[in-house]
Structure 1
Amino acid sequence: MPRFLYSLIFTLCLPLILARLLYRAWRAPAYARRWRERFALGGDLRAGGIWVHAVSVGESIAAAPMVRELRQRHPQLPITVTCMTPTGSEQIRKLFGDDVGHAYLPYDLPWLQRRLIRRLQPRIAIIMETELWPNLVAECKRAGVPVVLANARLSARSARGYQRVIALVRPMFAALDWVAVQTAAEAERFIALGVRQSALAVTGSIKFDLKPGAELLATAEQWRAQWGERPVWIAASTHGGEDEIVLAAHRQVLQRHPEALLILVPRHPERFDAVARQIENAGLGMVRRSAGNMPAIADQVLLGDTMGELMQFYACADVAFVGGSLIPGGGHNYLEPAALGLPVLSGPHRFNFAEISDLLEQAGALVEVADAPAMAERANAWLGDQSSAHRAGAAGQAVVAANQGALERLLQGITRLLGS
C-alpha cells in the first residue's frame, strides 16, 4: 500500500515534475533534449548484460574503474549505464565513448521501470552509492533481476530522512540482493532501514582505488611549465555562496603571493557564467578554460568552466579546497586531491564524506576552515612552505593507499551474483 500511494502521488505530481524539468531546461538547455528516455523510450540500451546506474558526474567517475574491470572480466556481457542529469550523461560518454550503452533513467513509476527492464533484460542491476527508487527496486525484484548497491554510503542525516518514510522504504531496502557498503557505521544504518545482514558486506570505498594516470600527470606537468613558476591553488566543486568566500580568500593570498593562481571550478555548469561575473566584479584577472587559452601572468584566476577535467585541474595545483563544505552541502570527494598528494582544505559541512574526511584530518592531510581569513591563512602557509605541504600531501596519499582494495571485493561479489 505505501508504494501504491507513492506511485499515485508521483503520477499526480508528474505535471509539476515536468514543469521543473522545463525550468531546468531554460537554465541549462541540455535538459530539453532526450525527454523520451525519461519515459523509457529510446536510448542506447544493450540488452542481456549488466546495467549500471550512476545518478550524475560524481557517481559516474566513481563507477568508471568498476565498469572497465567488468568489461574485461565479462567481455560477453554488454554494459548499459544510466544516469539522471545531462552532466552525468556527458561524463559517461567522455569516460566510455561507445563502449557502453547509455540512456537516462526513466521516472520512478512502475510501468516506466517495467518498460525499461523489459527492453534491457539485464542479468544484474548495479546502483551506485544510494540512488535508490522504490519502483525501480520492486520491478527488478518482479523480473528476477538481482540488485546490487555498490560503494554504498548513507550519512546519519540521510538515514533520518529515510526513517521518516520507513513504511515505504523498508521493503525496498529488504529487497536488495547485496549491499557493498563503505564503512561499518553506514552498515548499521542500512540494517536499521531493513537491509538483511546476510546481504551486506563492508567492502570500503572504491574511491580509494583511484590511481591517477601517467597521461594526466604528464599533461599537468606541461600545463604548469607554460604557467611559469607561480603558486597554484584550486577551489573545486564550489556551490553558490562559496565562490565569494573563495575569491575573498584569494585576494588575501595575493597579498603574500602576488603571482598566485586560483583555479576555480564551480560544481554545476549552469553557474559558470554567473561565477565569471563574480570574478570580474572582484577585480581579478581571469581566463576561462573553455576559451582554450592558458593563463598569462596577469591572470589571477583560471575558471574551470568545462566538464570532466576536474582531476586534470587538481593535478596542476599545489593546494586544494573541496567545495560543498562551506555551505550545508556535505562536501565532495576528498580522495581525488589526496590521491594526487595535495594538502586539502574543507569547510565544516563534511557529512557526505565524514569518515573519509576524518581519516585525512587525523593524518594531517586535511584542515577545516570556516571563512575566508582562515582559508587564506592555511593556503598561504602551505603555498609558502613546500616541505609542510608535501608532508600533508604525502600523509593523504598514505591514507588512500592504506584503504585500497574495495574495488576487487566489489567485483568478486558481483561475479558471484552473475554466477560466472
Structure 2
Amino acid sequence: MFWLYQLLLSVSIPLFPLLKKTVSKRGKVSLKNRFSTEFSEGKQKFLLHVSSIGEVNSVKPLVKALQGKVSLTVFTDYGLERARKIYPEIPSRISPIDLYPIVKNFLKKTSPKAVLIYETEIWPSLLKASSELQVPTIFVSGKIGERTYRRIKRFEGFLKPLFSDKIFLSRSEEDAERALKLGFKEVQVVGDLKLDYEPPEKGVSLEIDEERPVVIWGSTHEGEEELAVEVHKKLKRDFPNILTVIAPRHVGRRIDISGNVEYRSRTKRVRRETEFYIVDTVGELSSLYSYATVAVVGGSFVEGIGGHNPVEPVALKVPTLIGEFGNEFKEIAQTLKVPVLKRSELYPCLLTLLKEPKLRSKLGKESYFLWQERRGVTERILRFLGERVELQRN
C-alpha cells in the first residue's frame, strides 16, 4: 500500500506544471522548492512541522522556548511567509513533497534531533523515513478528531505500522484514546498548545470619541461580514451608538458595507458617527481586542473554515463568543466556557451581554481564569523532550 501511495503521487507530478498551483482552504500550496532537500541552516535541530498560518501562530510558545534549537517546515506558501515574518531568526522552509527518496534524503542531510509534528500532519513518507533513519518522531499537542479518526481507520492497514514507533503527546483524553487505538507506541496527554498563547506585550492605539459599546469581529471570512452588519442593525435599536469593528482574516479581500465606515489604515480615531471600523492592517487584532465590550471570533459562523483561536480575546478578559462551525476550537471553547452559538442565537446573546454588565464581566473573568489554570503545555512538552531526546536547555 505504501508503494501504491508513492506511485500515485509520482504519476501525478507531470500534471503539476499544468496546474501551476493548487489552493487549499488554508492557503496557497505551490510546488516551488518542494523537490529540494537542502536545509543547511536547519541541521541538527528539532524539526518542527506545521500546516499553515493558524498553526504557525499557535506554536509560538514552543518555538520561543526552543529558540536556537529548532527549525520549521511549513506546508503552505502563506504559512511560510508568516513564519518568516514572526520568526525571522528561526530557519524555515517549505516542506518537501512526500516522496520517499526526497524525504529520506532531506532527513539525512538535516539530521534533526527529532521531528516534531504539530497536531495532525500525517505524511507517510516522512513517518517511514524517520523510522528507518531512527529519528525520534513526536506529535506535539496531537489532535485526532472523530472525522480524522474515521478517515485514518479506512487505511489502518497502511498507516498503523507507520505509527508503531511514534509518540503522541495529546491535547486531550479523547485524542489520546484515538491515538492508542491507531497503534501509536506511546501516548501522553499534555494539553492544547493554543492555550499557551501569550498576549502582546505592547498594545496598539485606538481613539474612540465617546463611551460606547464595541463589538469586535475577529478574523472574519466571506459571509460573516454580512452577519455582522445584520446583527449591528438589530443591536442599534437598543444601543444607538454601538460600534462594530470588523477584522477580516484576509486583509486584501474586498468588504462591501453600507453605512458610515472607517478604515484603520486611514485613521486610528473613531468618530461619533462611525458605525463600522474595518481593520485592514496586519498583526493588530490581538491587541485591538482589548477595546472590545464583547468579541466574536470569526471563521466559525460559516462552514469549511474551522474557526480561529478564542484564547486571544479571552486572555484580555474580554467576554468571547464563537460560532457552531468553529470545529477546530470547540474543545478549547468548552474548556474555557466560551459560548458556541448558531447564527440565530448570536443577536440575542449579544443583546443580553450588552445589557447586563455583571453577566458580561462574569463570562470574561471565568474564561480568563480557566485559561490561566490550563496553561503550561509548552513546559510539559519540553519536559518530555528533555527526558527522551536529551534536550540541553539554556
TM-score, normalised to structure 1's length? 0.84
CA distance in 2, matches of 1:391, 1:110: 53
- Root-mean-square deviation (CA, aligned residues, Å) is 2.6
Give the secondary structure class of the aligned counterpart of 2:198.
coil
Corresponding residue for residue 5 of structure 2: 6
The counterpart of 2:314, out of the listed 323, 333, 338, is 338
Give the secondary structure class of the aligned counterpart of 2:109.
helix
Corresponding residue for residue 253 of structure 2: 273
Is 1:311 matched with 2:286?
yes
The structure where helix makes up a greater share of residues is 1
Q: How does 1:196-215 map to 2 (within 5 A)?
A: 196=185, 199-215=186-202
Give the secondary structure class of the aligned counterpart of 1:264.
strand
Shift of 1:322: 2.0
Deviations 1:268-307 (A, max 9, x none): 45xx423x13x2xxx1333344456544444322333344
Shift of 1:204: 1.2
The counterpart of 2:360, out of the listed 389, 392, 398, is 389
The structure where strand makes up a greater share of residues is 2
Is 1:63 matched with 2:59?
yes
Is 1:398 matched with 2:369?
yes
Deviations 1:362-386 (A, max 9, x none): xxxx223322x53222223223333
* Structure 2 unaligned blocks of 5 or more: none
Shift of the 338–20 alpha-carbon distance from structure 1 to 2, 3 Å rule, reads farther
Shift of the 159–370 alpha-carbon distance from structure 1 to 2, 3 Å rule, reads same
Is 1:250 matched with 2:237?
no
The counterpart of 2:295, out of the listed 286, 300, 320, is 320
Shift of 1:15: 4.5
Give the secondary structure class of the aligned counterpart of 1:179.
strand
Shift of the 192–343 alpha-carbon distance from structure 1 to 2, 3 Å rule, reads same
Give the secondary structure class of the aligned counterpart of 1:149.
strand
CA distance in 2, matches of 1:87, 1:142: 31
User: Mean alpha-carbon deviation: is it higher for 180-189 or for 300-309?
Assistant: 300-309
Is 1:237 matched with 2:237?
no
Shift of the 185–392 alpha-carbon distance from structure 1 to 2, 3 Å rule, reads same
CA distance in 2, matches of 1:245, 1:38: 40
TM-score, normalised to structure 2's length? 0.89
Q: Give the conservation status (yes or no) of the 8 Å contact 1:43–1:104.
A: no
**Which amino acid in structure 1 is aligned with residue 294 of structure 2?**
V
CA distance in 1, matches of 2:84, 2:122: 23
The counterpart of 1:189, out of the listed 129, 153, 178, is 178
The counterpart of 2:244, out of the listed 242, 262, 271, is 262
The counterpart of 1:49, out of the listed 39, 45, 49, is 45
Corresponding residue for residue 82 of structure 1: 73
CA distance in 2, matches of 1:287, 1:39: 45
Deviations 1:207-256 (A, max 9, x none): 2222324323xx3xx32x45542322222233333332222112222333
Q: Give the conservation status (yes or no) of the 8 Å contact 2:336–2:368.
A: no
* Structure 1 unaligned blocks of 5 or more: none
Shift of 1:413: 0.9
User: Mean alpha-carbon deviation: is it higher for 336-345 or for 323-332?
Assistant: 323-332
CA distance in 1, matches of 2:310, 2:100: 37
How many pairs are equivalent?
388
Deviations 1:98-155 (A, max 9, x none): x210111122111221232233221111111111211111112222211111111121
Q: Give the conservation status (yes or no) of the 8 Å contact 1:155–1:351.
A: no
Q: Give the conservation status (yes or no) of the 8 Å contact 1:350–1:357.
A: no
CA distance in 1, matches of 2:81, 2:263: 20
Corresponding residue for residue 408 of structure 1: 379
Shift of the 125–288 alpha-carbon distance from structure 1 to 2, 3 Å rule, reads farther
Shift of 1:19: 5.1
Q: Give the conservation status (yes or no) of the 8 Å contact 1:21–1:31.
A: no
Shift of the 208–11 alpha-carbon distance from structure 1 to 2, 3 Å rule, reads same
